[in-house]
Structure 1
């Protein structure tokens, strides 16, 4: 069994999402959902190999979009990226699973926030000052990947577009004009399409 499949990742019951109001696509009111979903009584760490095909649980995934001066960081997912079902698709989001090691005595949003910042630092080198904020949630029950994941979208507004990948799985990484994203929308993974439509459509 690979390290990826044996790791224990943060999950919440999909029933809690139903109780709060399940949605399809992008939802801007992330704080209302996360204030409930990330309560200690609603979170647990399960083997990734068991939850990748279990739609009764939602894996919580930080998804950071880096933006600067009318452009956005874009890359193509390569073989070292953990989710094989997304390989060769373009993406706007940097992030990954919240591992049990990230908890380290933390719980709830504190554990999540630590994991989000760790994933960001592992995947890219950001050499510009900027402001990082919670921007929304993504839920996509229309795809096998989406039905077992819940994306927590953060928007990182940078003073300068000065970012480089640390992992080979982020291929062809560059900043591209936001205004041109619609023309290549179909080449992106579904979560990035939601961001193009709902988060970045104001340029």
Structure 2
């Protein structure tokens, strides 16, 4: 991982393109071949250590213009994807669920329900005092999108890769599972509408109405448990 104050390499393929993209959001990406070298998978993998540490420690990480990366499958945008879980006294597992609304998020996912909160790591996180740009990006995205009014524990539960959809081909998700003492999460962006905690069984019963990443992770983590 880059040291504090040392940004990762910027996209300098062409001077003209660099000038035009000066004011555009630049997001953290990993070359897709590097991901394949570590072991390609489709869907969900619980092997976090196999992938995340080598990716974050690679000197092939870079920040590149988001608009270009959204249509370039030779790179994967690294996305923290946080699930909020609450288990009540009777043992019913509920997940925070919301409808992707009309905010500034990924337009290709609008009007889909989701259980994942998070977003891109960007140059806003490059100068993190700790040097951990990934954690800085995760913390920033959560603070922008939700308010968590409960104590919780958290762990990294796996990764999501979906090469079967247009959105999935250019993203790699890192799944974080937050276990909350109370089901208290509030949406803070228009893009997270109708936020509420729903039983995992209910989400599974209506899974086709959810974005693909949510379908993948809910089935992987909660289908057998239900």
1:64 aligns with 2:82: yes
Match of 1:73 among 85, 88, 96: 96
| Structure 1 moving runs of 4+ over 6 Å | none
TM-score by length of 2: 0.84
Deviates more, 1:180-189 or 1:36-45: 36-45
Contact 1:74 1:91 in 2 (8 A): yes
Could you say what secondary structure the match of 1:31 adopts? helix
Q: Which has the larger radius of gyration?
A: 2
TM-score by length of 1: 0.94
Point out where structure 1 has 5 or more consecutive residues left out of the alignment: none
Q: Could you say which structure has the higher helix fraction?
A: 1
Cα distance in 1 for residues equivalent to 2:138 and 2:102 = 21
Match of 2:196 among 150, 155, 174: 174
Contact 1:40 1:107 in 2 (8 A): no
Count residues with an aligned counterpart. Answer: 199
Cα distance in 2 for residues equivalent to 1:12 and 1:167 = 28
Could you say what secondary structure the match of 2:72 adopts? coil
Contact 2:128 2:136 in 1 (8 A): no
Structure-1 residue corresponding to 2:160? 138
Point out where structure 2 has 5 or more consecutive residues left out of the alignment: 1-20, 88-92
Cα distance in 2 for residues equivalent to 1:98 and 1:83 = 14
Cα distance in 1 for residues equivalent to 2:165 and 2:209 = 16
Cα distance, 1:13 vs structure 2: 0.6
Cα distance in 1 for residues equivalent to 2:67 and 2:129 = 24
Match of 1:13 among 28, 31, 39: 31
Could you say what secondary structure the match of 2:164 adopts? coil
